[in-house]
Amino acid sequence: MDIFSYGWQKEVEKQAPLALKVRPQSLDDFVGQEEIMGRGKILRRLIEADRLASAIFYGPPGTGKTTLAKIIAETSKGDFVQLNAVMSGVKEIKEVIKGARDLLGMEGRRTIMFIDEIHRFNKAQQDALLPSVEDGTVILIGATTENPYFTVNSPLLSRSRVFPFKPLDNSSLRSILEKALEEDKGLKGWNPRVDKEAIDHIIERSNGDARTALNALELTVLTTSPEDNETRRVTLEIAEESIQQKVVNYDRQGDNHYNVISAFIKSIRGSDPDAALHWLASMIYAGEDPNFIARRLIISASEDVGNADPRGLSVAVAAAQALQMIGMPEGRIVLAQAVVYLAGAPKSNAAYKGINQALEDVSKERSGGVPPHLKDFSYPGSKKLSSGQGYRHPHDYPGHFVSQDYLPPELKDKVYYYPTENGEEEKIKKRLDKLWPTRKKEGNP
């Protein structure tokens, strides 16, 4: 290393963020992820025995994925190579694989290849890894914030073990922050004295992300003026000013996007307006497309509320239209009104189940086509084909109803729609029971 490179490295180390300065260097210093990294747990045993096979570390930012990879680099006897999916291509991958083969052949040591943000690798890049991972030349450790079952090729995934990393709990975050305040390489030299309420606020706003918590702590300490005794006292007010907005781990194209919208719809289906509003707020806060939310409400209005309250669909459609007219942020009020209405409405998925069953029958069963009396007879020559012969017009009969077969003979007496006794659908059920007394009343066909 020349003098310029040495100076550059020293300056980088000096200016490095707190999260990098206090990054754990050993398994004993690693905090959190007790389910996989606690003493005696599988991942810790594999690392301690230096027997780790290819693995995918999957979880939100700031939960220890890269930190653990660095610890593995320090403790393993194998050669450790780090690539970043944003900066590296197939060429770099092939160069690492060639070096790994040479190392294995000459020294009998394997290469650990750590790829950060592996979900950003395209199919060609992932395919380039597969042969060397399969034959054991390379031990792959991939880190990703995206669900690997959606973003990592199945062949590569099947040869790796997925280890889920969860957001850090408050106890783990507190331990990390307290250690950063006490260590010489941390903030000790700034003589910080951070009130408990300030620590609590930082933890609460960090959403389980250690990197965010450490960056926030560093900001509050370094921007606080020292007192007469050179102590920097960080109060709750200072912490609140430094962290004005809570960090939300939410990727509109990622796994959390699907999880939150799933929780949102299930809360509406479960008639819990409070939970539904919570998930709505989470999406709005994270910058989710409000039109996407509106479309999901329209689907829920038919799928989950259905004819138990037919007005639900009108409310959802009106909300989507109003959102287009007024936009955000006022559109949140419109969305909230629709959410509360749908969550509080009686529920029925009878129409949803009915169409699914009908589609299944159409795709599998022989229907025999349209019965002659239901065929169109408005064109010349239709009588010669017996089209419409025997059809009885309901409006010509009392009550505007007459009993006749509308299904193909092969599906005679088939029932798809089973109205519930919830809300408005109870009226529909009573009317159908009266009109079709032989119709099945309950259960599925």
Query: pLDDT above 70 covers what percent of the chain?
Result: 91
Cα 140 to chain center, whole Å?
24
Task: Give which of 60, 126, 115 is closest to 85, Cα–Cα.
Answer: 115
Asked if 137 and 99 count as a contact pair (C-beta separation under 8 A), the reply is no
Buried b / exposed e over 127-145, threshold 16 CB at 10 Å, is ebbeebbeeebbbbbbbbb
Q: Which helix (H) or strand (E) holds 234?
A: strand 232-234
The pTM assigned to this predicted structure is: 0.67
Asked if 18 and 180 count as a contact pair (C-beta separation under 8 A), the reply is yes
pLDDT > 60? residue 237: yes
Query: Which of the 8 DSSP states describes residue 118?
Result: G
Query: What gap in Å lies between CA 319 and CA 440, rounded to an integer?
Result: 37
Distances in whole angstroms, Cα of residue 65 to Cα of each of 45, 154, 163, 201, 233: 17, 21, 10, 24, 32
Domains and CATH numbers, the chain: 33-164 (3.40.50.300), 170-242 (1.10.8.60), 255-344 (1.20.272.10), 353-435 (1.10.3710.10)
pLDDT digits (tens, 9 = 90+) for 137-188: 899 999 998 888 888 888 899 889 999 999 999 999 999 999 999 998 888 8
Query: What gap in Å lies between CA 398 and CA 406, rounded to an integer?
Result: 19
Q: What are phi and psi of 327, to 5 degrees?
A: 70, -165
Task: Give which of 276, 293, 291 is closest to 326, Cα–Cα.
Answer: 291
Q: How confident is the model at residue 289 (pLDDT cuts 50, 70, 90)?
A: confident
Instruction: Name residue 434's amino acid.
Output: K
pLDDT > 70? residue 255: no
Q: How confident is the model at residue 445 (pLDDT cuts 50, 70, 90)?
A: very low
Query: What gap in Å lies between CA 440 and CA 412, rounded to an integer?
Result: 12
* DSSP characters over 295-316: HHHHHHIIIIIGGGSTHHHHHH
Query: What gap in Å lies between CA 336 and CA 340, rounded to an integer?
Result: 6
pLDDT digits (tens, 9 = 90+) for 266-284: 999 999 999 999 999 988 8
Query: What gap in Å lies between CA 425 and CA 308, rounded to an integer?
Result: 4
CA angle 353, 355, 356 (to 5 degrees): 65
396-400: average pLDDT: 88
Query: What gap in Å lies between CA 324 and CA 271, rounded to an integer?
Result: 27
Q: What is the largest CA-CA distance in the chain?
A: 107
pLDDT digits (tens, 9 = 90+) for 58-113: 998 999 999 999 898 888 888 888 888 877 788 888 888 999 899 888 988 888 99
Mean pLDDT score of the chain: 86
Q: Is 16 helix (H, G, I), strand (E, B) or coil?
A: coil
Asked if 118 and 157 count as a contact pair (C-beta separation under 8 A), the reply is no
Task: Give which of 79, 20, 16, 27 is closest to 49, Cα–Cα.
Answer: 27
pLDDT > 90? residue 341: yes
Residues 6+ apart with CB under 8 A from 59: 65, 145, 164, 165, 166, 167
Asked if 152 and 162 count as a contact pair (C-beta separation under 8 A), the reply is no
**How many CB atoms are located within 10 Å of the residue 113 CB?**
25
* DSSP characters over 132-168: HHHTTSEEEEEEESS-HHHHS-HHHHHTSEEEE-PPP
